[in-house]
Structure 1
Amino acid sequence: MTQPMPSNKLAKNTLLLAAAAIGFAQTVLFAILAPLGREIGLIEVQIGAIISCSSLTLFLISPLWGRASDRWGRRIVLLIGLFGYSAGTLVFAGVFQAALLGLLAPLAALVLLIITRVGNATVMAAVSPSASAYMADITTVEERVKGMGALGAATNIGSILGPAIGGLLASISLLTPLYFSVGVTVAVAVLAMYSLPVLPKPTHTSAPKKLKYTDPRIFPLIVAGVLLFMGFAIVQQTIAFRFQDTFGLNSTDTAKIVGFSLMISAASALLVQMLVIPRLKLRPFTLLRLSMPIMMIAFAILASGETKLQFMSAMCVLGLGLGIAGPGFMAGVSVAVSSDEQGAVAGIAGACPPLGFAVGPLLGSYLYAIDASLPYWFSFSCYLLVFFFTLKFKTRH
């Protein structure tokens, strides 16, 4: 049901803050996970397994939270996700702390890190579908692209601040950014609890509609979305290894330069979403089609580059492409279905990044162990397939 409220500015701003908080928390982790994992004796594939297992959990659980938001309400599901993410991150950081102090052997630490991260992901999966569905409820179809673009932009603002602040806090300790992100997320959760309006109950009395990934209205977008996020996950997981091994950096310096690179990427995406997307009158699938060659250029630079400037330039270009692709994907799946399926489709769309991140980190780490450039050429090939896929797809969205 899409029923814009008479005064929804406060609701929109609260959703944007929630998206920014999650963007902050996620990019802080990606900036420090690789060097932190190596500090406690984990190898590349083991570090990738932590993200892959949690992302697989997000993929499986996210649609359930989307339908739960249809039944229980967007607000309560969003709050469960925010508070749950905060609590889970504290436990996750505690395991890392114990391993750094020598209280846990590497293998025991790996098992506990996977278990705690999976538990964290189970509740964290509530944030994306509930926020997207809430935004869909308070915007008209005509405003949908701008609304989803605003959520993406807010996430990118958090993604900019996360690596920047995380890089500074890593000078204190590699775990300090995680503890700081908990404080940020709790603060936003408390704000949402008191300021986010409760939406009217849906008028339909039947059970929330279920959607399948193979629903012909959204299946082409789902395929493109999974491959899109898988390629980006490969970069996020391996870029720290690339910097550390190519330039012989220690853990702290690696966290700083990776944080700065992720900040550049997110800033580029934000610039596109704020200045370009609102002015384009292109269909969602056309945006995806436009973004693929841009990101393929970034992968080629990451594979063949030899300097820090080249790697950071590639991250900038990658951010530009993602800034175009993200709103196209989210708006495309939203406008493809009816108003009373928004919670369900938000859950499915929210599961696409986790599915990509379930495969990408583990695959990227394995390919990196074979050859440092291989993950990026593989991603290049995947995006080339998506590009040809979008060319053959008849534009309905």
Structure 2
Amino acid sequence: MKKKLFVATLVSYLGIYITMPVLSAISTKAHMIPSQIGIMISLGAAAMLLLAPIWGKMSDIFGRRIVMIIGLFGMGVFFILYVILFHMSIASSKAVPLFFYGLMGTRFLLGIFMTTTPTAANAYMADISTTKDRAKDMSSLGFATGLAMVLGPIIGGLISTTGNLYLPFYTTIVLLLLFTVIMTAILPERQVSINEAHATDKKETGSKKFFSVKLLSWLLVGCSVMFVVVGLQLLTSLYLHDNIGQTVVQSAKTSSLLFVILGVTLMLTQILQIKVLNFSARKMMIVGIPLLVLGLLLITVASAFWMLVVSYILIGAGAAFGMSSLSAGASLVVSQDQQGAVAGTVAMTQAIAGIVSPLFGSFIYQINIKLPFLFFAAFAILTYLFFLANNLKRENTLS
């Protein structure tokens, strides 16, 4: 069952990342200007922010299986509409406002379903994992996310070398709809109930209220990790151009290479965690944030490419621990019947980062090119201290 959840999470995120390399290019061909493209992408993140907690709660009520299937199917359907609108807009000889609004609205609808399957999969994993194995099992889903972050752009980039910008979208549609059918067939209709799977755990942990300062500490420190991962996607090529002195073309290529390095490091770290280290959720976060901060600070003093490589390796390792520990740690501070709700809340923090980090990061970058990295580091340190204050007061084997 855990392998099925891994695959569902991987496919869902591949649905996002395969199209990323060509999204700006195809949007430009569709007569959209950069600000409109930015708004369109932000609308998708806004939908994720609004709907992720709702999907999590719905998975508590109606079951994980149906929500996971709806997520894959919904993404597939709205990607079809997305492609149709791109075709119509590109075919027109000039910009047509109706197509702009249609593309923006479709991106919002896509965003509604982007976190649906991962949210339900995280909750499902919490349902079938013991507290002892929770961190390791959640790390496997984090590995699926990291794998999609690496493979998605590579697949999309290779497919787009044919010159057909629609091919990554067609590939994504086929993948999502195919796995909608596969998951419908292989996911058990009757999920093992929470009481059956965790009778022992529930006796030990009892009932917990949903929101607490401890949960807030996990969400804030997790948000600091996502701020970095999302912000670097926008800032890396700009920083290479302005600080290292690369041309626009060179900075784009180098930026892609650095993100491959970051993604591979993220995957290898998560494999190490699953196979060897087996850190608790709390220990992963305790180790991860200092690595993240060190990598950010190294970027600000980097004067050569090799220094940036080292910094992105550190950030990749830190992000791997941080992303994996967030889902596991948050799931351990709420009751078992609240796993869907907390998985949705975790997804919501990722959506917040997707909206705030690019906007705020680009704004303060114009003030000073090193300021975003220093801000991300400072925010990570502050949330880390808050996390430590609320998680080291007493030994808690559940976190």
Q: Map of 1:130-169 to 2, 5 A cutoff?
A: 130-169=120-159
Does residue 367 in structure 1 map to residue 355 in structure 2? no
Residue 297 (str. 1) matches residue 288 (str. 2): no
Aligned to 1:247: 246
Letter in 1 for 2:146: N
State whether structure 2 residue 318 is matched by structure 1 residue 321. Answer: yes
Which stretch of structure 1 is more off in the superposition, 376-385 or 326-335?
Answer: 376-385
2:261 maps to a residue whose letter is I
Q: 1:38 to 1:126 in 2, by over 3 A?
A: same
Amino acid at match of 2:59: S
**1:114 corresponds to which residue?**
104
Cα distance between partner residues in 1 of 2:366 and 2:32:
13
Q: CA deviation at 1:345?
A: 1.5
Q: CA deviation at 1:322?
A: 0.9
Q: CA deviation at 1:258?
A: 4.6
- The answer on whether the counterparts of 2:56 and 2:342 sit within 8 Å (CA) in structure 1 is yes
Question: Does structure 2 retain, via aligned residues, the 8 Å contact 1:98–1:104?
Answer: no
Look up the match of 1:83.
73
Displacement of 1:23 in angstroms is 2.8
Q: RMSD across aligned C-alpha pairs, in angstroms?
A: 3.1
1:219 aligns with 2:210: no
Note the 1:1-397 alignment, pairs <5 A: 11-34=1-24, 46-101=36-91, 103=93, 105=95, 111-173=101-163, 174-200=165-191, 202=193, 214-242=211-239, 247-250=246-249, 258-280=255-277, 282-305=279-302, 310-395=307-392, 396=396, 397=399
TM-score (norm 2): 0.83
Shift of 1:150: 0.8
Relative to 1, partners in 2 of residues 1:112 and 1:240: Cα closer, same or farther, differing over 3 Å? farther
Q: 1:94 & 1:305 partners in 2: Cα distance?
A: 44
1:23-59 alpha-carbon deviations (Å, 9 max, x no partner): 3233334444455556667666544433332222212
Q: Is contact 1:164–1:260 with CA below 8 Å preserved after alignment?
A: no
SS in structure 1 at match of 2:391: coil
- 1:284 is displaced (CA, Å) by 2.0
Q: Number of residues paired by the alignment?
A: 380
Q: Using the TM superposition, give the Cα deviation of residue 216 of structure 1 relative to its aligned residue in structure 2, in angstroms.
A: 3.3
Aligned-residue sequence identity (percent) comes to 26
* Unmatched tracts of structure 2, length 5 or more: 196-206
User: C-alpha displacement at 1:264, in angstroms?
Assistant: 2.4
* TM score, norm. by length of structure 1: 0.83
**Structure 1 residue 242 displacement after superposition:** 4.6
Do 1:78 and 1:131's aligned partners in 2 also have CA atoms closer than 8 Å?
yes
- Pick closer, same or farther for the CA change 1:203–1:22 going to 2, 3 Å: closer
Give me the whole-angstrom Cα distance separating, in 1, the residues matched to 2:103 and 2:15.
17
CA distance in 1 between counterparts of 2:323 and 2:343 reads 14
Q: What do the CA deviations read for 1:142-161 (whole angstroms, capped 9, x no partner)?
A: 22111111111122222221
